[in-house]
Amino acid sequence: MQGEIIIIAILASLACVIPGVFLLLRKMALISDAISHSILPGIVIGYLIKQSLNTPYPIIGAVVFAMIMVVTSEALHRSNLVKPDTAIAVVFPPLFSLGVLLVTLLAGNVHLDTDAVLLGELAFAPLDRMMVAGYSVPKSLVKMLLIVIFNGGIIILLFKELKVSTFDPILSKSLGFSPSFLHYLLMLMTSITAVGAFDSVGAVLVLAFMITPAATALLLTNSLFVMVFISFGLAIASSILGVLLALQLDAGISGAISTVMGGFFILAYFFSPLNGMVTKLKHKMNIKHEYALSIILYHLSNHCDAHNMETECSYSHLKEQFSYSERYLKKIVHKAVEAGLIKQKNRVFHITERGRNDARLHISH
Amino acid sequence: MSLLYDMIFDYTLRNVALGTFLLGLGSGAVGSFMTLRGESLLGDAIAHATLPGVALAYMLTNTKDPLVLLIGAAIAGVLGIGAITAITRTTKIDNDGANGIILSIFFGFGLLLLTYIQKLPQSSQAGLDRFIFGQAATIIAKDVVIIAIVQVFVLVVVTLFFKEFKSSTFDPQSTTVMGFNQKIIDAIFATLLVAVIVVGLQTVGVILISALLITPAAAARQWTHSLKTMVITSSLFSAFSGMIGSLLSASRNNLPTGPMIVLVLTAFLIFSFLFGAKRGIVLRKIALIKRERSFDHNRIMLALDNLAQSHDDTSLAHSSKTIGLMVQQTHGMHRMLKQLAQKGLLIQSEEASYALSKQGELYVKNLKNEGGLYAG
């Protein structure tokens, strides 16, 4: 049971990550949010036909409403009535409201409630089962597997095209891949994934599953190919850890998985070897140290032989001259002594031959 | 009329109506600036980001005092804005992506906490739930007072800093040149944004509160080109939609308030898209038709002038067929010629034959002076 929940969670997050990577790179992250909200009325209407989420009808309804949202918001900003972001911001709330209203009005006789809309019910997913080749498996597992295969198939077949049209739409057009076809394909993928993940993840957190692993991966690499695989790894790890966390706390699973995904993002934000905050800070400090060292070496190499070197090369003079704090100066000097660039005698510094060469090198740069 | 009666004399409905009306005033005003700044989706992100603040405030203090919960929400909201700014400034993730990440991480964490609280033995989560979709019926007099204070604060600040907000919205560079500190203006604006979102949470809910900001502003934009008028119109749209929507939701049991308000707002928006005085689709269409008609009329007048000059006789009438050939158009020829004759620019000599009148000659002369077909 627990194993099945984990497998379904992994499949759901993998399915979401595939369109998510491209949505993020195309600066369309919030369109996926808008889509995952807008499909709600479609799902409810589709649900009503067979009283079940595991039929094709909710998917069809969802795709129809996703397209309504995409086409309406594009038409609105193309007709110059509002800006593109405003167009999205005004189109999805009424659609979502319509969905919530339908859910509330039908609450008496329908196994859909607002909690399910928000949270999904991953914990109950293994209860709804079907027979496949003699084995009893959860329906949502089969559904998510099919979506993973669909999305995976599309990116394996169209990786090159998606890549080009994402980074250089004009080149893509001149090479003969229609960017607008790929755009709508991506929208289709997003809406199918959103509706598939809907009952396990919930409408709002589909966005977390799509965007967060992709964004974390973006902080860790500059290659699209690597980014896709890091996103997969993060999706799998977050799903396993998230389910375990949720079971530990007896709390909602999709919220827990999103939280773990967020944790990974924060880690990457600070500690990414590529551009993380801590890495950047270290780099900055290194440059600062190097500068301080070279300026001291230069000063010493100029004054070491002079008659007033007793005062010019003393510790207190260096401190005064460059207005470094005591601690900082000690640190730099210590480093320089360790590296054999300078020597200290009776609180007066002598530059070594190596130090002289180094200073010359720094100046010539 | 019974609804109006209840609104005045029923305690709950009076609170609901007053609370949501006040709520709309400030959010509509703040929303106007947001749409113009191209930050329409920021409100959505911040609203979602407040959820863990509500949950944590409850867990730490174990009270459901709205003031405590709202302070928690506000802290989370401010953290959310800070995080979005930090991500866009320091990484290659764009604004959209940063909004999405913060929205979903914070909201996911909030839901984790809410579901955790729900399962705790002594406490019930009931009451926190309403922050997700909003429940106007739970507004009590104390809430109305909180809402009123915050909205008055927001409106006063918007009025005081109107000039600064206006300038930083349309031309950030010149704002700095004029000596205003852009960072301080942004901080003030962010405070207002968090304030209007936070007080709206328990009425409209985190998911839909941003519609209360953006939708009325988008509607108001269709009616005016002046920022001041837009802010006022947007406030009023928002206030009345809030009131109507919440009354509708309160009048039938348990209709969620947020969605009802959004549907009313959207009705206002669609009406504005169609009939808005400055940008509305219908008026634009009418203006287009008028322009086309005057273009066609002018072509006919010029064609007749041309014919008159080549015949040395201005009073000679030409058949509509000839005129049609001259302007290479037959569709609607009779109608347009009749319209021109009615205006007194043409003289209809016999069935379907027309010549320029004295007034018409003058009109053509003016037309040529003013620069051809596009005049008139």
Sign of CA dihedral B91, B93, B95, B99: negative
Q: How far is residue B236's CA from residue A160's CA, in Å, rounded to a whole number?
A: 51
Structural domain boundaries in chain A: 2-275, 283-364
Q: Cβ separation of B35 and A83 shorter than 8 Å?
A: yes
Average the pLDDT over B10-39 and give the result.
Answer: 88
- What pLDDT does A321 receive? 79
Would you say domain A283-364 falls under CATH 3.40.140.10? no
CB B218, CB B271: distance < 8 Å: no
Sign of CA dihedral A233, A237, A243, A246: negative
Does residue A191 carry a pLDDT above 70?
A: yes
Chain A CB contacts of B35 below 8 Å: 82-83, 86
Q: Cβ separation of B256 and A277 shorter than 8 Å?
A: no
DSSP-derived secondary structure letter, B122: S
Neighbour-count burial for A187-225, b at 16+ CB within 10 Å, e otherwise: bbbbbbbbbbbbbbbbbbbbbbbbbbbbbbbbbbbeebe
Question: How many Å lie between the alpha carbon of A83 and the closest alpha carbon of chain B?
Answer: 7
What's the ipTM? Answer: 0.84
Q: CA-CA distances (angstroms) from residue B254 to B6, B136, B261?
A: 18, 10, 14
Q: How far is residue A267's CA from residue A263's CA, in Å, rounded to a whole number?
A: 6
Nearest to A27 among B97, B222, B260 (CB): B97
For the beta carbon of residue B43, count every other beta carbon within 10 angstroms: 26
Amino acid occupying residue A79? S
Interstrand relation of A135-138 and A129-132 (parallel, antiparallel or unpaired): antiparallel
pTM of the model: 0.82
Average the pLDDT over A255-261 and give the result.
Answer: 93
Rg from Cα positions in chain A? 30
Nearest to B109 among A83, A246, A259 (CB): A259
Chain A CB contacts of B255 below 8 Å: 101, 104-105
Question: How many Å lie between the alpha carbon of A167 and the closest alpha carbon of chain B?
Answer: 14
- pLDDT level of residue A107 (50, 70, 90 thresholds): low
- What pLDDT does B197 receive? 92
- What pLDDT does A197 receive? 83
Average the pLDDT over B75-89 and give the result.
Answer: 93
DSSP-derived secondary structure letter, B15: H
* 3 state SS of A273: coil
- What pLDDT does A204 receive? 78
Neighbour-count burial for B88-121, b at 16+ CB within 10 Å, e otherwise: beebebbbbbbbbbbbbbbbbbbbbbbbbbbeee
CB A190, CB A23: distance < 8 Å: yes
Which CATH code for domain A2-275?
A: 1.10.3470.10
Helices (H), A223-276: 224-249, 253-271
Q: Cβ separation of B105 and A79 shorter than 8 Å?
A: no
- What pLDDT does B375 receive? 47
- pLDDT level of residue B253 (50, 70, 90 thresholds): low
- What pLDDT does B124 receive? 58
Phi-psi region of A178 (alpha: psi -120 to 50; beta: other; left: phi over 0): beta
Q: Cβ separation of A211 and B263 shorter than 8 Å?
A: no
A32, A37, A82, best to mutate vs chain B, most B CBs in 10 Å: A82
Structural domain boundaries in chain B: 2-277, 283-374
Topology (CATH) of B2-277 = ABC transporter involved in vitamin B12 uptake, BtuC (1.10.3470)
**Tell me: the pLDDT tens digits for B207-217?**
888 899 999 99
**Tell me: the pLDDT tens digits for A291-304?**
888 888 888 877 77
Q: DSSP labels for B165-223?
A: HHHHHH-HHHHHHTT--HHHHHHHHHHHHHHHHHHHHHHH-TTTHHHHHHHHHHHHHTT
Place of tokens 């000097």: A333
**Tell me: the pLDDT tens digits for B326-338?**
777 767 777 888 8
Nearest to A250 among B109, B119, B255 (CB): B119
Does residue A261 carry a pLDDT above 80?
A: yes
Percent of chain A with pLDDT over 90: 26
- What pLDDT does B138 receive? 75
Mean pLDDT (chain A, rounded): 85
Q: Cβ separation of B218 and A90 shorter than 8 Å?
A: yes
Which CATH code for domain B283-374?
A: 1.10.10.10
Average the pLDDT over B40-48 and give the result.
Answer: 91
B93, B241, B266, B282, best to mutate vs chain A, most A CBs in 10 Å: B93
Nearest to A97 among B103, B217, B263 (CB): B263
**Strand blocks (E) in chain A:** 129-132, 135-138, 342-345, 348-351
* 3 state SS of B247: helix
Q: What is the 3-state secondary structure (H, E, C) of B300-365?
A: HHHHHHHHHHHHCCCCCCEEHHHHHHHHCCCCCHHHHHHHHHHCCCEEEEECCEEEECHHHHHHHH
Chain B CB contacts of A250 below 8 Å: 116, 119
CA-closest candidate to residue A93, choices A157, A140, A37:
A37
Q: How far is residue A31's CA from residue A43's CA, in Å, rounded to a whole number?
A: 18
Q: How far is residue A160's CA from residue A165's CA, in Å, rounded to a whole number?
A: 9
Q: How far is residue A20's CA from residue B93's CA, in Å, rounded to a whole number?
A: 13
Neighbour-count burial for A54-75, b at 16+ CB within 10 Å, e otherwise: beebbbebbbbbbbbbbebbee
For the beta carbon of residue A124, count every other beta carbon within 10 angstroms: 14
* 3 state SS of A346: coil
Q: How far is residue A320's CA from residue A323's CA, in Å, rounded to a whole number?
A: 5
- pLDDT level of residue A93 (50, 70, 90 thresholds): very high
- What pLDDT does B160 receive? 93
CA A194-A91-A48 angle, to 5 degrees, is 50
Sign of CA dihedral B57, B58, B61, B67: positive
Q: Cβ separation of A81 and B222 shorter than 8 Å?
A: yes
Question: How many Å lie between the alpha carbon of A65 and the closest alpha carbon of chain B?
Answer: 16
